[in-house]
Amino acid sequence: MVACIAGFSISTGAASRLISGYDSYGNTCGQKNSKIEGVELSGRDQTDNKYVFFLDPCNIDILNRKIKSMALCVSRCPDIELKTYTEVKKFALQNGSELCSYDIPVSKYASHGERSKKCPKLPVPASKSLPVFHRCTPVDISCYAQFAEAFVTFVSDNSMLHRVIAGVMASKEIIMGLCVLALVLSIILMVVIRYISVVLVWILTALVVLGSLGGTGVLWWLYVDHRTNLTDQTANTPTPQQQVATDNVQALLVYAIIATVFTVILLLLLFFMRKRVALTITLFHVAGKVFTHLPLLALQPFWTFLSLMLFWVSWLGVLLFLGTTDIYV
């Protein structure tokens, strides 16, 4: 079943569009494309045009968190600022990177009637391509203020995300403290296993005995307390809830008896098998020697973590393929 889901998503999805990018006509940059019915400029061969170029990259729709601009596939991002359409034309002729819509010839960049809609907004900022996602990103940091504002708006509008962030920030000291405590306890446990295994065995034995006796005692105390209250209520003013209280008392009696039997059996086992404690101590000594002779064994949690990360990354890829199935524009 898992293989079927993964195979279907890979065969029908288009996660490469998220990395390579695509233009406003449904063409994926850096590859040949099939014609999309009803889209005039689709189905173009964009093998040489590997980068996504936005005509107005700083025009951010803050509410919808997207760029309100036509996107084109170009062979090179403009690395210098272009102030006029003549410079845009010159850049296209020199580098073979057409920055206007595909239906506008390079020779008409400066005179075309729709250049204000289908050509980049002047001045065209200098940009460079991202190393992985092949988007032409403006070099001028002032443009990123719009992105920051859009991100802040997203965080402010998303109540769930806001609650999560607020909860993490409110509990950051506790989270950090628990992380440090877990590290300290793990180190202490390794030291105990290696050097003071005798103490560890007796501590565990004492905890088991005390826990069993304490749990049994609490159950019997609750039974006596509830039975006394039930007797007083019955003597004074009978109520319809007495049947529920009676059932609770009987349940506590059953639990107390079961706990008592379990505690007695456990104590008998510990008494008759007390001589086997030495064997347990020997096993802890062997475990300590294993850590000494195989120090890389301490890295096992990291290997497990990496394996889980690879597992989740693989399924993240499957989700990306599923999310882009039959998406063209």
Residues 43-55 have pLDDT tens digits of: 888 888 889 898 8
3-state secondary structure the chain: CHHHHHHHHHHHCCCHHHHHCECCCCCECCCECCCCCCCCCCCCECCCCCEEEECCCCCEECCCCEECCCEEEECCCCCCCECCHHHHHHHHHHHCCCCCCCCCCHHHCCCCCCHHHHCCCCCECCEEECCCCCEEEECCHHHHHHHHHHHHHHHHHCHHHHHHHHHHHHCHHHHHHHHHHHHHHHHHHHHHHHHCHHHHHHHHHHHHHHHHHHHHHHHHHHHHHHHHHHHHHHHHCCCCCHHHHHHHHHHHHHHHHHHHHHHHHHHHHHHHCHHHHHHHHHHHHHHHHHHHHCHHHHHHHHHHHHHHHHHHHHHHHHHHHHHCCCCCC
Q: Tell me: the pLDDT tens digits for 105-125?
A: 888 888 888 888 888 888 888
Decide which of 279 and 108 is more confident.
108
The confidence band for 74, taking pLDDT boundaries of 50, 70 and 90, is very high
d(CA 177, CA 144): 36
Q: Which amino acid is at 155?
A: V
**Residues in CB range of 294: below 8 A, 6 or more apart:** none
Angle between helical axes of 300-323 and 2-12 (0-180°, round to 10) = 50
Q: Tell me: the pLDDT tens digits for 75-97?
A: 899 988 888 888 988 998 888 88
List 127's β-bridge partners, or say none.
138
Q: Which amino acid is at 266?
A: L
Give residue 160's pLDDT. Answer: 58
The confidence band for 225, taking pLDDT boundaries of 50, 70 and 90, is confident
Over range 17-28, report the average pLDDT: 81
d(CA 320, CA 325): 9
The answer to whether residue 1 scores a pLDDT higher than 60 is no
The answer to whether residue 133 scores a pLDDT higher than 50 is yes
Q: Tell me: the pLDDT tens digits for 138-177?
A: 887 666 666 666 656 655 555 555 666 666 677 778 877 7
